[in-house]
Amino acid sequence: MGAIRVAYPIGMDPDAPIGMFDSGVGGLTVLHATLVRLPHEDVVYLGDTGRFPYGPRSQDELIAYGRELTGILVERGAKLIVVACNSATAAALPVLQQESPVPVLGVITPEAHAAVQATRLRKVGVLATEATVNSQRYVEAIHDLDAGIQVTQVACPGLAESIQGGEPYSERTLELVQLACVPLREAGVDVVVLGCTHYPLVRHMLQRELGTEVHTITAAEELAEEIAATLARKGWQRGDDHRGEYRFLATGDTEAFREEGTRFLQLPIGDVEHVPVADCL
């Protein structure tokens, strides 16, 4: 799919929904924080479960996916797009921001800012997918704020899949967590960015391996604050008299999305609409 070519009317309806997408159900951790922070806003969430996982994908693939998913959400009237996926943010955010007719926010910058603020030793760890680590976007974002911080990145192939696959607390997941935390302990980091929206579901496992003195940072709360600030700055907030609604789209099996997603969202998931995309027809 080429560049996003959806025309948008001048001006913005504050009652329009927020659009959010992720490679699967991990971004529901961001959705949950957004629903808590912005209870009056409607949100349309699109899970690209038919092409999950994103970690092994190339940058060109992720840009193409990001364009397609952004286009779907814009066509459904989104006033703001949230890329609730670290791999997609790392690969595609600048392109999406240039091409989208509405603002596009991603997960990396808010987390990088929080990490820089939190570290005392100026040693920050990043746990992420292969695609995110290879992009070097976290290193760049952190060094833009403080070039003296030592950043230790660890790719975690298979971890997001193990978490989303129905048994997030399995022996396999624990083995992957333990393996990933070894280089972070050796590097002496005091802050670790959980650079995939699936990872907060096993935050307690990670914390046990890292130690209580290490502060872990997730995208959810940080990004929800950026969404709120962006809407306030543009005057696009929905009125307080409205109770926000959320609805779901998925490119893969809708029943599997409902089952897996409930664990991440910690709220009921009703109907899920199937949306066909390029590689999932």
What CATH number does the domain containing 235 carry?
Answer: 3.40.50.1860
Same-domain check for residues 102 and 122: no
Tell me, yes or no, whether 125 and 148 share the same domain.
Answer: yes
pTM of the full structure: 0.90
155 bridge partner residues:
128
The CA dihedral of 142, 204, 170, 87, to the nearest 10 degrees, is -20
Same domain flag for 207 and 230? no
Is residue 118 included in any domain, yes or no?
Answer: yes
- Provide the domain limits for residue 215: 109-219
| Phi then psi dihedrals of residue 57, to 5 deg | -75, 155
Are the C-beta atoms of residues 18 and 78 closer than 8 Å to each other? yes
Secondary element (H or E) of residue 141: helix 137-145
Mean pLDDT over 31-39 rounds to 96
Looking at the fold, whether 207 and 276 belong to one and the same domain comes out as no
Specify if 207 maps to a domain: yes
- Is 165 domain-assigned? yes
Instruction: Tell me if 3 is assigned to some domain.
Output: no
Residues 131 and 199 in one domain: yes
Say yes or no: 214 and 247 in one domain: no
229 plus 255 within the same structural domain: yes
Q: How far apart are CA 203 and CA 185, in angstroms?
A: 16
pLDDT digits (tens, 9 = 90+) for 128-184: 999 999 999 999 999 999 999 999 999 999 999 999 886 788 999 999 999 999 999
CB atoms near residue 175 (< 10 Å): 13
102 and 228 share one domain: yes
If asked whether residues 197 and 276 sit together in one domain, one would say: no
Considering the domain architecture, whether residues 101 and 113 belong to the same structural domain is answered as no
Per-residue pLDDT reduced to its tens digit, 84-131: 999 999 999 999 999 999 999 999 999 999 999 999 999 999 999 999
Among 199, 219, 239, identify where a domain stops. Answer: 219
CB contact at 8 A, 31 and 197: no
Q: Tell whether 234 and 214 lie within a shared domain.
A: no
Asked if the structure places residue 140 within a domain, the reply is yes
Residue with the larger pLDDT of the pair 4 and 279: 279
Q: Is 196 a catalytic residue?
A: yes
Query: Is 10 among the domain residues?
Result: no
The last residue of a domain, from among 191, 219, 247: 219
Tell me the pLDDT tens digit for each residue of 173-230.
Answer: 999 999 999 999 999 999 999 999 999 999 999 999 999 999 999 989 889 999 999 9
User: Is 181 part of the annotated catalytic residue set?
Assistant: no
Structural domains in the chain (count): 2
Domain membership of residue 1 (yes or no) is no
Closest CA to 194 of 185, 203, 186: 203
Of 182, 199, 219, which residue sits at a domain end? 219
Note whether 71 and 90 are same-domain residues: yes
Residue 226 maps to a domain: yes
Residue among 156, 181, 196, 280 flagged as catalytic: 196
